[in-house]
Amino acid sequence: MRAFSEAVKWVFLDLDNTLWDFDANAEEAIKELYHRHELHLHSDFHVDQFLSLYKDVNAAYWLRYEKGEVTKEVLRTARFTDTFNAMGVAAALQPENVWQEYLDICPIMTRMMPGALDCLTELKKKYRIALLTNGFERTQQTKISVSGIGAFVDFMMTSESVGMAKPDSRFFALALETAGCSAEEAVYLGDTWHTDVEGGMGAGIVSYWYRRGQDRRDLPLDDPNFGGVVEDLMDFARL
C-alpha cells in the first residue's frame, strides 16, 4: 500500500461493508423478518434460501438505483415484492409494509467490520473524516449514531441527500467541495471496486480497495490514483 502524501488532510470512507458490517446486519434483519412473518407457512423456501434470493434481488435493484433507473421508493418495496413472488407467496399472504420493518430494524444493529472503531480512532488523530455512501439519509444517520461511528465523522454525504450516487465523479467532486479540499488533499477507502475504487480514482482521488475477502486480478498497480489493497483496517489507519 502507498503511504499517504504529506498533503492529505481528509480521509473519505465508505460506510457499508467498510466500517459497518452491512452483510452481517442485513442477514440478521432478513432472517428476523422471515421468522416474524412465518414465511415457512406460505412457501417451500427455508430461511437460508429466502436470504439468498433476497440478496440477489436486492443487489440487482441497487445497481438499477445507482444508474438512476429506479427510484428509492421502488427499490425499497419492489425488492421484497419480487422476492415474495419468486418464492411463490400468494399476493394476499405477503406481509404488508415489510420494507418499513426492515428499515426500522436493520440500521439499529451494530456489528462492525473488524477493527473499524480502532481505525477511526487512529485516523482522527491526524485527519478529518467524511463518509461517502450510496444509501438513504435517515437509514445511514441511524447506523452511525447507534454504532458510535458518528462521533468520529466531520460530515456524511449520502446519495439520497445529494441526488447522485457513486461512482459518479460529480458525487466525489461535491465531497471535495464540501470538505473544502483538493483531490490531492484527500484519500478514499471503500470495498466495492467499481463504485468506490474506480469512482474515487476517476475523480482524481488516491483510492484504496478494502478487499474483504474478494478477488480481483487486474489491479491497476501503475495508476497513480490507486493506493493499493487493504486487508486490515488498522494497516490503512497507520499509512
* pLDDT single digits (tens) 158-173: 999 999 999 999 999 9
pLDDT score of 217: 77
| Distance between CA atoms of residues 58 and 52, nearest Å | 10
Is the domain of 203 the same as that of 142?
yes
What's the average model confidence in pLDDT over 66-76?
90
What's the average model confidence in pLDDT over 202-212?
97
* Residue 5 within any structural domain of the chain: no
CATH number at residue 221: 3.40.50.1000
Q: Name residue 172's amino acid.
A: F
Residue 79: partners with Cβ closer than 8 Å, 6 or more residues away = 54, 57, 58, 61, 99
Is the domain of 135 the same as that of 79?
no
pLDDT score of 68: 86
* Residue 91 within any structural domain of the chain: yes
Distances (CA, A) of 201 to 7, 28, 94, 139, 190: 17, 33, 43, 27, 11
Is the domain of 87 the same as that of 176?
no
* pLDDT single digits (tens) 210-230: 999 888 778 998 999 999 999
The domain boundary, picked from 108, 134, 163, lies at 108
* pLDDT single digits (tens) 104-147: 999 999 999 999 999 999 999 999 999 999 989 999 999 999 99
Question: What is the residue range of 99's domain?
Answer: 23-108
pLDDT score of 185: 98
Task: Give yes or no for a contact between 238 and 11, defined as CB atoms under 8 angstroms apart.
Answer: no
